[in-house]
Structure 1
Amino acid sequence: MNSDFDSFYTRRLKQRMDDCFSRPITGVPGRTVMLLDRVSHDNKLSFNLTGSKTRALNTASYNYLGFAQAEGGCADAVEEGIRRYGMSSCSPRLEAGTTDLHQQAEALVAKFVGEEDAMIASMGFATNSTTLPALVGKGCLVISDELNHASIRFGVRLSGANVRTFKHNDMGSLEALLREVISQGQPRTHRPWKKILLIVEGLYSMEGTLVNLPRIMELKQKYKFYLYVDEAHSIGALGPHGRGVADYFSIDPAQIDILMGTFTKSFGAAGGYIAGSRALISQLRRRSHATCYSESVSPAVLTQIIASMGSIMGISPPVPQPALSDPPKSSADVRGEMYVYPGPAPASALPTWMNLPPQLKDGSEGQTRLRRLAFNSRYLSRGLKKLGFITYGHVDSPIVPLLLFNPGKMVLFSRLMLARKLPIIVVVVGYPATPLISGRVRFCMSAAHTKEDVDFILKACDEIGDLLDLKHGHVKERWSIEEVTRRSGELVQMEEVE
């Protein structure tokens, strides 16, 4: 059942640092988080809660826009939604689980991402794993980035389609593979593929890298394949309007065949969506197991999705009803449903009973959150590089991986961050999620963090980096921690860190 190496790794390394994983929390995972303290008396085989709690600065949650909060306009809307709809729809979508909230949420998602229609699923992992078998099957080919998420891999296996992988974000490797599979066709028969589907992620959560979407769109025009973009980590977190990688690269999302995303990161909710053409989504509603068998998304979660997404978009004022003497208008004009991507959402896109505060309704707070997240991400990434650390990923990624390499340093880094006067919670990642010698710590930035929070994280990393000998990055001129915090604005505005 297990190889000798797996047994050795589990006993000699993984078990000894289990206190760094699966830490139990209570309350909202916002800017800070409340840890439930625990101890182990059997060498980390089991843990016992002590009854005490520790408040820590949270850099471990995918709370990109800071909507994971128990108070504010979105939380008030959710409370009202629970009063009106209860806690569950109590049925799959295709039976009796579809409410007006589901239809409004799907229409709003389609407007948000710039597609004709959208379908919502109750679990992010299941969004991929149940949709892909409904899209491809025997005789189809899936081309997948080698670092795609496990939900994509699982869905492809369930589909029965052939699968080929290319080197992570390597467009040369991708084009060479496209030439090969198109010219050779299916194995043995060499018949043309029924369908070729390229699957990539917008933002890769382990690497912090962005997909090279402009180059992929060029290849799509040349080789005529279908494109599936997983925006679980990029939707809401990237682009001047928060609409993901298409918004970031100024590409028309209608040119992308299928957009997938989740609500668990930027929107403080749960579940995921698939967006595309109206004909495609209609077919998926009939064929996807997520709509046939799984429980529909609960009304409270739908309300959070609508409120948070609407506050990012901003809500346009309602269109006044025409007087009897006025010339007739189209029904779309009367309902205020005319929408041009990526403009504000029409007033009819929100339930009539949802009353958001003015700063959420006009989109000003949403824009502030987007700008704050962009600043925090750039500041931490470039600050770490200037201090001498080796980091992965794109400068605008809210996920900042800091390379530790030595597996033994992962446990020390995590414990030392937690042991500070103001504890800091970090995610350390090692084998098998990464290669054995590519262990890393991932900082997940949020709009809820302040500049002072990022200053504190950089100071902690600077001290621990000296202690654990982690500063091996190649940078033309290293800065001291004082210089980094003092020149943060200049650092963020730099073209690139030399």
Structure 2
Amino acid sequence: MKNFVPLCQSFECFYTRNLYKRLRDVFNQPIASIAGPIVNVMEPVTDDYNWTFRFTGRNIPAINLGSYNYLGFAESNGPCAEAGIRSIEQYGITTCSTRHELGNQQYMITLEKMVADYLGVEDCITFGMGFATIALNIPAIMGKGDLILSDKLNHVSIILGSRLSGAHILRFNHNDMQDLEYQLRDAIVHGQPRRFRPWKRIVIIVEGIYSMEGSLCKLPEIVALKKKYKAYLYIDEAHSIGTIGSHGRGVVDYCNVDPKDIGIHMGTFTKSFGSAGGYIAGKKSLIDYIRVHSHSACYSSSMSAPIVYQIISALNIITGRDGTDNGQKRIQQLACNVHYFRRQLIDMGFVVYGNKDSAVVAVMLFLPIRIAAVNREMLKRGCAVVTVGFPATKINEPRIRFCLSASHTKEMLDHTFRAFDEVGYMTGLQCSKRKPLHRLVDLNPEDYLED
């Protein structure tokens, strides 16, 4: 059990007793529609202070500001949905087998080749679950005698996978290149604890876009340190693939870094591609090794046909293989919405975290008591949002996490501004207001898009 990461330590149970129970309606909102720009949130009612719920039968239509549908491919109609329906007619729902037995369909080989070509690497392997792609594959490539240097804000799946691997783990301060270089140099000089032997491998693990902060990793500087100290680099592009870069290829594309300088590319299909699963890409020798030694590859069921064809169809649109520029339009529209949304929130006086190009927009709440108030009041005004608290963040750093999509229109964003302006004033979130709101919403998202 020491290898697993507890959600709450024993001394932290006061949070689950005194706060989480009162927020169950906030953290467990069921929806009854596709995760498009508008969702229908089922209205729950409790008679025993959130111990149990019953539903009124009423659905609340709300602007979806909480899902990772960055490019708007989570649709019930259109080319992606049609491709998924056709695949069910030809292949069925599942193969009921692992890929090592009878589950290696041709469409999976096609998907892996397409992803490898898209990323500019030699080979790729795909998995049916994004969390397992990280948590079960780090132990396949790392082990005793290896050193993992992990950013302090890395996702829990990276933390879990690192612990399961048995490798020694050191954490460096978030995006602090001086701290990273110090730990690299110290690890090379002193070697393994007590034995003082050289480390077999040193692997730096970072995320492209950090899901709770909206910040980008300093990839060019990390690559320079990796080359200088002969380390390896593992990058998790779950939130960056498809969302940034001129071709939507993530932070590697955004920073103009050679894909071959990244030892291990990892990403998920659950966000920009509107599907499920994940991938690991890199050199062919590495991918062949993972195919044989990864528990996720050996024991999990193969991906179903509609899931794969959703990804293939989305990739064809993003890369322009469908003969249209729809993919580039989606990437451009997402960039317009992100710049417009961030600039407006800052001008309205909110404390906003993250990079200006990140589709994850974190607005600080600071007090845990505001989690419920902001979430419920926004839903009353037709905005479905995600509020995040401990243990996903520090207990004094709760936040509302807006996730923007290319499918959001200007009217939807303007409605969100008006609602959040009211809720922010009500809960005391606005530190200053530089411009009146009525002047801001007269602008267009394109006015904020920089060259």
The alpha carbon displacement at 1:472 in A equals 1.5
Spell out, residue by residue over 1:387-425, the C-alpha distance to the aligned partner (whole angstroms, 9 max, x if none). Answer: 1110100011001000011111111111111112xx110
Give the distance between the partners of 2:406 and 2:177, measured in 1 at CA: 32
TM-score, normalization by structure 1: 0.87
SS of alignment partner, residue 53 of structure 1 = strand
1:298 aligned onto 2:304: yes
Give the distance between the partners of 2:258 and 2:126, measured in 1 at CA: 22
The alpha carbon displacement at 1:486 in A equals 2.2
Give the distance between the partners of 2:444 and 2:79, measured in 1 at CA: 31
2:60 corresponding residue in structure 1? 54
Spell out, residue by residue over 1:209-252, the C-alpha distance to the aligned partner (whole angstroms, 9 max, x if none). Answer: 00000111111121110000000110011111110001111111
2:367 corresponding residue in structure 1? 406
2:166 corresponding residue in structure 1? 160
Letter in 2 for 1:53: N
Listed as ranges, the gaps of 5+ residues in structure 2 are 1-5
SS of alignment partner, residue 60 of structure 1 = coil
Letter in 2 for 1:268: G
Alignment check: 8 A CA contact 1:484 1:491 kept: no
1:458 aligned onto 2:417: yes
SS of alignment partner, residue 207 of structure 1 = coil
1:444 aligned onto 2:403: yes
- Of 216-225 and 483-492, deviating more is 483-492
Give the distance between the partners of 1:23 and 1:387, measured in 2 at CA: 28
1:90 aligned onto 2:49: no
1:471 corresponding residue in structure 2? 430
1:347 corresponding residue in structure 2? none
1:487 aligned onto 2:443: yes
The alpha carbon displacement at 1:51 in A equals 1.9
Give the distance between the partners of 1:445 and 1:489, measured in 2 at CA: 13
The alpha carbon displacement at 1:487 in A equals 3.3
Spell out, residue by residue over 1:120-159, the C-alpha distance to the aligned partner (whole angstroms, 9 max, x if none). Answer: 0110000011110111100000110011111111111111
1:372 corresponding residue in structure 2? 333
Alignment check: 8 A CA contact 1:202 1:230 kept: yes
1:263 aligned onto 2:258: no
SS of alignment partner, residue 435 of structure 1 = coil
SS of alignment partner, residue 273 of structure 1 = strand
SS of alignment partner, residue 39 of structure 2 = strand
Alignment check: 8 A CA contact 1:428 1:442 kept: yes
RMSD of the alignment, in Å? 1.5
Q: How does 1:202-221 map to 2 (within 5 A)?
A: 202-221=208-227
SS of alignment partner, residue 291 of structure 1 = helix
Q: Taking structure 1 as reference, are residues 289 and 490 closer, same or farther at Cα in structure 2, changes over 3 Å only?
A: closer
The alpha carbon displacement at 1:5 in A equals 4.7
The alpha carbon displacement at 1:490 in A equals 7.5
Listed as ranges, the gaps of 5+ residues in structure 1 are 316-360
1:231 aligned onto 2:237: yes
1:222 corresponding residue in structure 2? 228
Letter in 1 for 2:287: I
Alignment check: 8 A CA contact 2:203 2:234 kept: yes
Q: How does 1:73-222 map to 2 (within 5 A)?
A: 73-222=79-228
Give the distance between the partners of 1:208 and 1:363, measured in 2 at CA: 30
SS of alignment partner, residue 365 of structure 2 = strand
Letter in 2 for 1:376: N
Q: Taking structure 1 as reference, are residues 151 and 4 closer, same or farther at Cα in structure 2, changes over 3 Å only?
A: closer
Letter in 1 for 2:260: A
Letter in 2 for 1:86: G
The alpha carbon displacement at 1:491 in A equals 5.6
Q: Taking structure 1 as reference, are residues 268 and 493 closer, same or farther at Cα in structure 2, changes over 3 Å only?
A: closer
Alignment check: 8 A CA contact 1:382 1:491 kept: no
Alignment check: 8 A CA contact 1:142 1:162 kept: yes
Letter in 2 for 1:484: L
User: Sequence identity, in percent?
Assistant: 47
1:391 aligned onto 2:352: yes
2:3 corresponding residue in structure 1? none
Letter in 1 for 2:325: S
Give the distance between the partners of 2:226 and 2:11, measured in 1 at CA: 42
Which structure: larger Rg?
1
Letter in 2 for 1:400: V
1:419 corresponding residue in structure 2? 380
Letter in 1 for 2:388: V
Give the distance between the partners of 1:243 and 1:146, measured in 2 at CA: 25
Q: Taking structure 1 as reference, are residues 59 and 490 closer, same or farther at Cα in structure 2, changes over 3 Å only?
A: closer
Give the distance between the partners of 2:370 and 2:58, measured in 1 at CA: 27
SS of alignment partner, residue 400 of structure 1 = strand
Letter in 2 for 1:397: S
